[in-house]
């Protein structure tokens, strides 16, 4: 049988060998197979106006097409699902659109009906090539693109190369692309998309026009999902859409996938969406927060059991609690959030009510313990047990007194302590808190705003009590508040110390090691610095510092005179003197005699400061100076050379 005698398939048929009764009969629309298309593809943006949350990108591209200054290479970066590849396809259509009449030019509003627009929408345009760099990473793949770019477009106006996940290309592939990317043919446009911009070589970035696609805000996502769900015949509550938008984390594609799943399951209520996502109900989370902060461990465990029975991941319960604590902390900092429409009504009302009853120190402590607890859950063999232990610790720690309450107890006062001391106590407590609910800190207790300070070491225990483990009263000078003027330095050494206290690390090091003081005394400060470059920088930074602290009181000059040794050189002389005095000490001489190979490694003088110098009222290099050598407890018996035998 000749091939010419074989029956040809019907144009609208579905089989090469149709049924006998259907030969020659057109198939109706109801008989055509229906292929389901997921929401992320069905509602994929086709124009710049359809993009949500990318107003800056759209405005710049519209302006570029309007003035005819469209770049030859684009770099689109952002998290997954924000529209990088979609934007690349819209640019490709905008470059190749010929309009409804076939005579149009590049436009920011492609018609969508011309042959080029239709072919690009259906992913079959011969001049628009998409490549996934995750699977084609080699230099041969890039050479194929380079070779293809040399030919004129077959159908469209421009050849467009869209390379997704471009950061996956190999180093050699990037190098092969550089020359063509820098000087591409006039009819070629490159569009790169990546989620890891830092992995793209700078040489490639410098040749592209970069656009950062932002995460889409939750309120915009929720509104977008509402419109799509209504078109699909589903009617979600605002709370359910808010949960989906929050889980999407700024990604439109991820959110549409979750919305697709919710429509398929008929999960249109918040509770059903929470169950679908494996989350605890939002109201349940606030119930747990209230019970935790009230120290009601039995209620917390009951709520945990309820969440577990509903199928919630208990680790997610801890992260939800962290999110709740973070929300309450934001309420503390910015009260206007309580009226924001970006948050559901339940979170605004219950969160605001709970926030008013808690202090920031309590919220900070809860955050630290939850953060530590999540790490413990990941390492625990039984996640449920670990979560319950974390929650129990939270309950018992909630009744612990805060640092300012501890300070008031130690003072025997009812009024709050000065703000500076309280903040330092809170910082010490937060930094040293452990997951066991026990913290040890040094609490400054002040008798007045600027009076002496008593420091005591406290140990906080989970049962709600405060135990003074050991109390070592020590009177120290309280720190000056920022409002008080900085004392005028009386010597060059005090000046250097002041520079160090002002966090000028480089300047402090230069003044300590290289500067030689020639003259010191307001308003004259004369130094010798041998390095001219260093001298100019010191002139600039030290003058600015002195003018800020003591306006108009100091004048900095430089001299070629020898001046005094630097502080570092003076410290080295003190070390040499200490070594000499130590060698002449009777005990040291006896030890050296007994052990001929021994040598003095170093001498530590408790009277010396951070620069290795004694107090300025003593003469560091004078004949009366001697190190304070301490070899044994003060109540020890004296020793002589005969005792060593």
For residue range 143-201, list pLDDT tens digits in order.
888 888 888 999 889 999 999 999 999 889 999 899 888 888 889 999 999 999 999 99
Mean pLDDT of the chain: 78
d(CA 602, CA 625): 18
Least confident of 281-290, 373-382, 453-462, 500-509: 453-462
pLDDT at 638: 54
Integer Cα distance of 12 and 9 in angstroms = 8
pLDDT digits (tens, 9 = 90+) for 95-125: 999 988 888 889 999 998 999 999 999 889 9
DSSP 75-95: EEE-STTSSHHHHHHHHHHHH
- Note the pLDDT of residue 161: 93
pLDDT one-digit tens code per residue, 256-292? 999 999 998 888 888 788 778 766 677 888 889 999 9
Better pLDDT: 570 or 466: 570
Predicted pLDDT of residue 406:
65
pLDDT, position 58: 93
The first and second tokens of residue 64, run together, are 């570029």
Does 358 have pLDDT greater than 70? yes
DSSP string, 462-512: TTS-EEEEE----EEPPPPPTTSPPPPP-SHHHHHHHHHHTT-HHHHHHHH
pLDDT of residue 475: 40
> Residues 50-99: pLDDT tens digits?
999 899 999 999 999 999 999 999 999 998 889 999 999 999 999 999 98
pLDDT band at 623 (very low <50, low <70, confident <90, very high): very low
pLDDT one-digit tens code per residue, 413-440: 444 444 444 434 433 343 344 434 444 4
The residues with which 555 forms a beta bridge, in sequence order, are 524
Residue pLDDT, tens place only, 447-475: 343 344 434 333 433 433 333 343 434 44
pLDDT at 364 over 70: yes
Whether the bond between 523 and the residue before it is cis, its omega within 30 degrees of 0, is yes
Q: Facing residues of 527 across strands?
A: 517, 558
> What is the rounded CA–CA span in Å between residue 12 and residue 454?
93
Question: Which residue, chain included where needed, has tokens 């808010």?
Answer: 242
Please say if the pLDDT value at position 243 is more than 50.
Answer: yes
Rg of the chain in Å (alpha carbons): 38
The answer on pLDDT for 476 being more than 60 is no
Angle 252-265/218-231 helices, nearest 10 degrees? 40
Instruction: Say yes or no to pLDDT of 494 above 80.
Output: yes
Longest dimension (CA), the chain: 128
What is the arithmetic mean of pLDDT over 338-364?
81
What's the average model confidence in pLDDT over 522-527? 84
Q: What is the pLDDT of residues 534-560, one digit of tens each?
A: 888 888 889 888 888 888 888 888 988
The share of the chain scoring above pLDDT 90, in percent, equals: 24
More confident residue, 610 or 461: 610
Q: What share of the chain is helix, strand, coil (3-state, %, to 5)?
A: 50, 10, 40
């Amino acid at each position: 049988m000749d091939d010419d005698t074989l029956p040809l398939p019907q144009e609208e048929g579905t089989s090469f060998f149709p049924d006998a009764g259907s030969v020659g009969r057109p198939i109706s629309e109801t008989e055509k197979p229906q292929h389901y298309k997921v929401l992320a593809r069905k509602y994929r943006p086709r124009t710049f106006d359809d993009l949500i949350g990318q107003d800056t990108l759209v405005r710049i591209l519209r302006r570029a097409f309007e003035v005819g200054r469209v770049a030859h290479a684009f770099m689109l970066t952002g998290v997954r699902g924000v529209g990088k590849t979609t934007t690349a396809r819209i640019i490709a259509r905008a470059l190749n659109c010929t309009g409804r009449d076939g005579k149009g030019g590049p436009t920011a509003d492609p018609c969508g009906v011309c042959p080029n627009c239709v072919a690009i929408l259906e992913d079959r345009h011969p001049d628009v090539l998409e490549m996934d760099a995750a699977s084609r990473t080699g230099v041969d793949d890039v050479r194929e693109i380079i070779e293809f770019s040399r030919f004129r477009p077959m159908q469209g106006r421009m050849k467009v190369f869209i390379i997704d996940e471009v950061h996956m290309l190999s180093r050699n592939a990037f190098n092969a692309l550089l020359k063509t990317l820098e000087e591409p043919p006039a009819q070629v446009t490159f569009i790169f998309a990546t989620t890891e911009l830092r992995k793209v070589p700078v040489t490639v970035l410098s040749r592209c026009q970069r656009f950062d696609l932002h995460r889409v805000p939750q309120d915009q996502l929720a509104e977008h999902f509402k419109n799509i769900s209504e078109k699909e015949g589903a009617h979600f509550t605002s709370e359910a859409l808010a949960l989906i938008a929050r889980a999407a984390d700024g990604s439109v594609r991820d959110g549409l996938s979750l919305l697709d799943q919710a429509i398929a399951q008929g999960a249109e209520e918040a509770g059903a969406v929470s169950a679908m996502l494996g989350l605890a109900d939002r109201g349940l989370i606030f119930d747990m927060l209230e019970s935790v902060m009230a120290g009601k461990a039995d209620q917390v465990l009951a709520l945990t059991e309820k969440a577990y029975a509903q199928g919630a991941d208990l680790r997610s319960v801890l992260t939800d609690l962290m999110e709740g604590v973070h929300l309450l902390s934001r309420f503390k900092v910015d009260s206007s959030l309580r009226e924001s429409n970006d948050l559901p009504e339940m979170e605004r009302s219950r969160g605001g009510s709970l926030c008013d009853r808690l202090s920031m120190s309590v919220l900070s402590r809860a955050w630290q313990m939850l953060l530590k607890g999540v790490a413990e859950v990941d390492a625990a063999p039984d996640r449920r047990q670990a979560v319950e232990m974390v929650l129990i610790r939270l309950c018992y720690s909630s009744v612990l007194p805060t640092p300012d309450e501890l300070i008031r107890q130690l003072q025997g006062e009812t009024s709050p302590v000065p703000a500076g001391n309280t903040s330092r106590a809170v910082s010490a407590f937060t930094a040293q808190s452990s997951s066991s609910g026990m913290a040890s800190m040094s609490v400054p207790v002040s008798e007045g705003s600027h009076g002496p300070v008593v420091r005591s070491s406290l140990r906080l225990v989970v049962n709600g009590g405060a135990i003074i483990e050991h109390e070592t009263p020590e009177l120290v000078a309280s720190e000056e508040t920022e409002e008080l003027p900085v004392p005028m330095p009386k010597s060059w050494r005090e000046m250097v110390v002041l520079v160090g206290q002002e966090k000028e690390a480089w300047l402090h090091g230069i003044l300590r090691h290289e500067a030689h003081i020639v003259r010191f005394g307001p308003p004259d400060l004369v130094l010798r610095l041998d390095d001219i470059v260093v001298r100019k920088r010191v002139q600039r930074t030290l003058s600015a510092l002195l003018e800020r602290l003591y306006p108009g009181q100091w004048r900095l000059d430089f001299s070629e005179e020898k001046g005094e040794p630097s502080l570092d050189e003076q410290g080295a002389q003190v070390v040499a003197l200490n070594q000499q005095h130590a060698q002449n000490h009777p005990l040291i001489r006896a030890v050296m005699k007994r052990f001929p190979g021994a040598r003095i490694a170093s001498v530590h003088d408790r009277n010396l400061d951070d620069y290795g110098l004694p107090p300025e009222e003593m003469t560091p290099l004078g004949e009366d100076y001697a190190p304070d050598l301490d070899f044994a407890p003060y109540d020890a018996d004296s020793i002589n050379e005969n005792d060593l035998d």
